A = this chain, B = another copy of it.
Amino acid sequence: MPDGSPVGAALIGGGENEFDRDTVLRRREPGVYDADLSAGWMAGPAMHGGYLLALAGRALTDTLRDPDPFTITAHYLTASRPGPAVLRTEASRPGRAFSSGHALLTQLDDNGAEVHRVRAIATFGDLGQLTDDVRTTAMPPSLPPPENCVNAVKEAPDGFPLPEMLRRLESLLDPSTLGWAMGAPSGRAEVRAWLGFADGRDFDPLGLLMAADALPPTALEMGLDGWFPTVELTVHVRCRPAPGLLRIGVVTRNLAGGMLEEDAEIWDSQDRLVAQSRQLAQIRTAPAS
């Protein structure tokens, strides 16, 4: 019934905030979604990895019919470009409290051939159904108050090649982890920041997937210069975040073989560790094309 079916029913997500509008999907058929990757979420020459992870997460929210990603991993195969993309998903529902699925994001290249961009798997459930026991030795990152941090957009030096996606965010960086921006990297592989959406949207689990990859690369503060594309990113969402700015700390312990890991801990305004993430990134010191 092409004429009788309500158009609105095929839209997944959407709303007035930039992040929701830019991650809206159109369900073409069960398990097949059309997306339009927004140039507003580019990070250098490619689409931002956390944005792509959130898109995969949104598709799986619909496919799996569970609200929250408990754990999701994406592998970034080729650099995604702004414009049309297709997400194909596959579901497993083993009959427990969890569901699980796979998503493949593709685009067409200049010759019209389908290219694999991102592959993801995830386990979903309902964070609201979890027990509220907490035993943690993790501590929120030590950060100066927001007004003493460096606004990544407003205080960027003239001519700085600001990743476009930073304009969608309120990214308030700890000056003590920003030595690289002054030409004096500390050598310590740590970055810390407060993070919000520029338009005031509150964070939800899909927003956390984006946030897990939103800070400057730790490699810069290690004194490396170049481009650090993500090979793989895993996010564990442990709790629905309270409204307000997030605090994020990212550390790297091991650079080897031209790759490094970045571990992020994300805390909400109620001092809860709402997500833990790890990514494996490449070190490309040649200039990005």
In the complex, A100 has a CB within 8 A of chain B: yes
Q: Give the segment of A21-29, A39-47, A253-261 that binds chain B.
A: A253-261
In the complex, A2 has a CB within 8 A of chain B: no
Overall SS of chain A's interface = strand
Minimal beta-carbon separation of A135 from chain B (angstroms): 4
Across the interface, do B75 and A133 meet the contact criterion of CB distance under 8 Å?
no
Across the interface, do A236 and B261 meet the contact criterion of CB distance under 8 Å?
yes
In the complex, A145 has a CB within 8 A of chain B: no
Best-surrounded residue of A119, A254, A278 (most CB of chain B within 10 A): A254
Contacts of A138 in B (CB 8 A): 253-254
Across the interface, do B273 and A254 meet the contact criterion of CB distance under 8 Å?
yes
CA distance A130 to B78 in the complex (A): 19
Partner of A135, one of B94, B102, B222: B222
Across the interface, do B253 and A238 meet the contact criterion of CB distance under 8 Å?
no
Instruction: Please name the residue on chain B nearest to A189 by beta carbon.
Output: B137
How extensive is the interface on chain A, given as a class? 35 or more
Q: Give the segment of A7-15, A120-128, A168-176, A202-210 that binds chain B.
A: A120-128
Partner of A71, one of B122, B133, B231, B239: B231
Instruction: Please name the residue on chain B nearest to A137 by beta carbon.
Output: B253
CA distance A84 to B142 in the complex (A): 52
In the complex, A280 has a CB within 8 A of chain B: yes
Contacts of A100 in B (CB 8 A): 75, 77, 116, 119
Across the interface, do B276 and A261 meet the contact criterion of CB distance under 8 Å?
yes
Residues in A71-98 with C-beta less than 8 Å from chain B: 71, 73, 75, 77-78, 92, 94-96, 98
